[in-house]
Amino acid sequence: MIEQTLSIPLKIYLIQELPAEDIELIEAAKEATFRSYSPYSHFSVGAAARLENGIIVSGSNQENAAYPSGLCAERTTLFYANSQYPDQAVRTLAIAARNTEGKFLQAPIPPCGSCRQVMMEVQQRHHLPMRILLYGTEGVYELANVNSLLPLSFDESFL
């Protein structure tokens, strides 16, 4: 048997340490949480993507009584970006969430497995790294690309 340990590079910032364009993107993700339709979980997630051309698009989680017919904020955002701007790579994706009391989470929320897989596909589609910003009131995690979120990823090379 061989045992290996995988590690990922992660930077943690206070929000005021980030450049203005990153703060703008995080604010767009936070604002998107207020457009969440989450009557069942009462957990509001927002995402915002800055495209190669500088445009910011955003989305929020949308729940449905016929679970799992809803959709996460990350996928809502990325599918919208790809449908409206198919030739524009997503340079940075920011994610924020509010809890059942309506407060932003102290620790950043990571994306679910389905969202990670979609994020990987979007990154591979454009052959450019997609930077990830995960917002928490006590710090912002920065990941250089989706590979950091999904180190053992499934992609087209397996097909």
Positions annotated as catalytic residues are 74
Beta pairing, strands 131-136 & 90-98: parallel
- In eight-state DSSP terms, residue 136 is E
Residue 85 CA to residue 30 CA, distance in Å, equals 22
- In eight-state DSSP terms, residue 105 is P
Largest CA-CA distance found in the chain, in angstroms, rounded: 50
Q: Which of 103, 86, 104, 84 is nearest to 94 (CA)?
A: 104
